[in-house]
Structure 1
Amino acid sequence: MTQCTFCEIIAGRSPAQVVHEDDHSLAFMDLLPMTPGHCLLVPKRHIVDVWDLDDDDAAHVMRGVTRISHTVRERLRPAGLNILNNNGKLADQSQFHFHFHIIPRYGNDRLLHPWERRFGKHDELRMLAEILRGERDRPGGD
């Protein structure tokens, strides 16, 4: 099994600038920050992605995200905040230990929004909602 960078940090075998720790999660400074104050919050239990997450872990992680978000706002005074989570290689997950990016936003940070947004078609939105509610099968099966 490949060593998990975040598990190594949690175990104290790799250095990190820790900003928060409790029984269930650890928050530390991102080594490749998008903006000043960019933190990562990880569950202490190795969880690969959102599909590996149970309700208890989710509750603990979100409490940690909320705490760090409030701390960032109080101490760094950003104009806004992005909370990001990527799941799967195609979604740009590079560390396969579930984590959140807590990214303070500043008026001069020059970060671009990577998503191109478009209005959804009403029929397509209705069909997708029906699939998600379990009222119809996904086109093409599987």
Structure 2
Amino acid sequence: MSDQAAPSEDCVFCGIVAGVVPCAKVAEDETTFAFMDIDPGSDGHLLVIPKRHSADLFDIPAEDLAATVLAARRIAGGVRAALGAVGVNLLNCSGPESWQTVFHFHLHVIPRYRDRSRDRMTLPFAPGRPADADAIAERARAVAAAL
């Protein structure tokens, strides 16, 4: 685990928390900071981050992770109330292969709407295509054994 207390000089999200990089702030508490995404997938798409630097899901201390998830849930309720979203996606990307581009743990809070003019998000895969049951069971055993 890295030194989460030390902000990274080249981390844009650390710069946002420090107030040296501008943002459209939504909320802040002792542990977390929320701001609008500059490349939104839908109207009201925002990010919730821990104030302490952690690179990703595997680097963040449990207490910062819990605080970030709870803040995201609270803010998602505000998004529904203020913007009329009918659903919300919470998304975390950990690692470049999973589309992480800023290496400071963050949760995307993505409001979802029936009106597609307010929502450009689509699924990256086609649901409803179950894989081989034996392969699924084998992966379940492998993951369970690794725990």
- The reply to whether TM is greater than 0.5 is yes
Question: Equivalent residues in 2 for 1:1-142 (5 A)?
Answer: 3-109=10-116, 110-117=120-127, 118-134=129-145
Could you tell me how far 1:121 is from its partner in structure 2?
Answer: 1.3
Could you tell me how far 1:5 is from its partner in structure 2?
Answer: 0.3
Query: TM-score with structure 2 length normalisation?
Result: 0.86
Could you tell me how far 1:54 is from its partner in structure 2?
Answer: 2.2
Could you tell me how far 1:120 is from its partner in structure 2?
Answer: 2.1
Could you tell me how far 1:67 is from its partner in structure 2?
Answer: 1.0
Larger gyration radius, structure 1 or structure 2: 1
- The unaligned stretches of length 5 or more in structure 1 are 136-142
Residue 119 of structure 1 aligns with an amino acid whose one-letter code is: P
Residue 112 of structure 1 aligns with an amino acid whose one-letter code is: T
Could you tell me how far 1:2 is from its partner in structure 2?
Answer: 5.7
- The unaligned stretches of length 5 or more in structure 2 are 1-7
Three-state SS of the structure 2 residue aligned to 1:116 is coil
Three-state SS of the structure 2 residue aligned to 1:75 is helix
- How many residue pairs are counted as aligned between the two chains? 135
Three-state SS of the structure 1 residue aligned to 2:134 is helix
Give me the whole-angstrom Cα distance separating, in 1, the residues matched to 2:61 and 2:43: 31
Residue 115 of structure 1 aligns with an amino acid whose one-letter code is: F
**Which has the larger displacement, 117-126 or 97-106?**
117-126
Structure 1 outlier segments of 4+, above 6 Å: none
User: Once the two structures are superposed, what CA deviation does each residue of 1:19-66 show, in whole Å capped at 9, x if it has no partner?
Assistant: 110011100011111111111011101010101022211111111111
Query: TM-score with structure 1 length normalisation?
Result: 0.89
Three-state SS of the structure 2 residue aligned to 1:134 is helix
User: Alignment identity in percent?
Assistant: 38
Give me the whole-angstrom Cα distance separating, in 1, the residues matched to 2:21 and 2:115: 33
User: Once the two structures are superposed, what CA deviation does each residue of 1:62-92 show, in whole Å capped at 9, x if it has no partner?
Assistant: 1111111111011111121111111101111
Give me the whole-angstrom Cα distance separating, in 1, the residues matched to 2:56 and 2:126: 24
